[in-house]
Structure 1
Amino acid sequence: MGSRMMHFAIAQQVKPKDLNFIYGSLAPDVSGRNRQFKVLTHFMSPNTDGVTYTIHPEWFANKYRNLLTQDAFVQGYYAHLRADEIWLQTVFNPLIRPQLKLNRESKLKQYYADFHTLNLMIAKRYQLSMPALPTKGNTKTVVNEIRKGDLTGVIQDLRDDFVPLQERSLVMLTMPEIEKYISTCSTEIQADLSQL
């Protein structure tokens, strides 16, 4: 699924400067790489292959329908789920998954290393800087899947994403693919939110 920096760039395209929307757009990733927690925070169900999962933004939209029309945090959370759904459909499944058949572990390392390499490229391309998101004392959310205190970690992770790393070339992903992904997400999410 897309990186924090990608979600941040999408949020800035959809609702520039709306901190609650941005905050919500980062929230599902409090789960990190904990698969069970991620299934919960991303409204996922396992596919019949027993390996892959499907994200269901519509489950989230149905559960939080009353808040979705009025709460920017909830809208941002929904935007994250839609962006991850689009990532799986347009980037991961067609471009990355086929490459994982051979040397899976080394390819996954390269894939995640590309995320880190892309962080500052995305920040520069979309003129992003670290927003003034809530601190430890103010991390309450109306989304039941997120526990109190969970959000502080993902905020720190976004701060860390702005720290320069040793330069390396992209291996699995390209900047044009990411730009296309961010543009597609921004357009589709804006259309979704306008229909609420």
Structure 2
Amino acid sequence: MHLALGKTLADRLDIKDRDGLIIGSILPDALPAKVKQERNSHFITIFDDGKYKWFDSLAFYEKYADEVLNDAVYLGYYFHLISDNIFRQIFYIDMGLITRRGEKSLFEEFYNDYNLLNPQITAGFGLKKDIVVPERLRETRLYKDYGFEPENLINDLYADMDMHIEGTLRHFSMDIVRGFVDKSAELCIKELEAILNGRGHVYDKYEMAIENHYSDKK
């Protein structure tokens, strides 16, 4: 879904550096599972005494503002973090699953749905095995800060594109996927227009966060 969003944004923005935007749009997921938590490439933050949790895209922007405004890799990364918050809102709030947040079984159901939808997402968004890792990526501050392994992620994505399994969808549908992509793209484009014109951000953490499911255990 992040790859579909990256391609959609590259098309709608008619961006010159398509390869940079698209690799940036999947880069936060390009860490080995064993180091994801410690390196926090998704800028996960809790606030208000642990009550709320979100992907702190504003912290990412503050850290890399110059790069976001001038480098499509960073812009794609920024869009990814924004859209992760939208995804959680759709997943937990719009779909009414917030009472199951934190359940292992829910994530198993989600990933099964995702695997079932892979062929439709691939065809519906015209995804191809043409993701490019720019040579300059390893010279960026972003790469040096986190040590991503994009080639491994790309191999996983390509395997997903080839996946064809049988089963019944539990939660997701292509309409929900398209809704996620459209809603995310709309907000990302508005945000880009605002920061390019010096108007500040078009969202804040309270709009984007949801209640932290660990907060009642603190």
TM-score tier (shorter): 0.7 to 0.9
Tell me the number of residue pairs that the alignment of Structure 1 and Structure 2 aligns: 187
Distance 1:53 1:190, change over 3 A: same
- Percent identity of equivalent pairs: 23
Measured after TM superposition, the shift of residue 139 of structure 1 is 5.0
Listed as ranges, the gaps of 5+ residues in structure 1 are 1-5
1:164-175 map, 5 Å: 164-175=163-174
TM-score with structure 2 setting the length: 0.75
Equivalence for 1:54: 54
Does the CA contact (< 8 Å) of 1:47 and 1:53 recur in 2?
yes
Q: Distance in 2 between matches of 1:81 and 1:53?
A: 13
Matched, 1:191 2:190: yes
Q: Distance in 2 between matches of 1:168 and 1:50?
A: 38
Does the CA contact (< 8 Å) of 1:139 and 1:152 recur in 2?
no
Question: Which one has the largest radius of gyration?
Answer: 2
TM-score with structure 1 setting the length: 0.82
Give, as a single letter, the amino acid of the residue that structure 1 aligns with 2:37. Answer: Q
1:171-182 map, 5 Å: 171-182=170-181
Does the CA contact (< 8 Å) of 1:27 and 1:146 recur in 2?
no
Runs of at least 4 residues of structure 1 off by over 4 A? 32-35, 47-52
Does the CA contact (< 8 Å) of 1:61 and 1:78 recur in 2?
yes
> Pairwise CA RMSD of aligned residues?
2.7
**SS state of the match for residue 130, structure 1?**
coil
1:1-196 map, 5 Å: 6-16=1-11, 18-31=18-31, 33-34=33-34, 36-37=37-38, 40-46=40-46, 53-95=53-95, 97-98=97-98, 100=100, 104-134=103-133, 140=138, 141-143=140-142, 144-147=144-147, 150-195=149-194, 196=196
**SS state of the match for residue 173, structure 1?**
coil
Does the CA contact (< 8 Å) of 2:92 and 2:101 recur in 1?
no
Give, as a single letter, the amino acid of the residue that structure 2 aligns with 1:36. Answer: Q
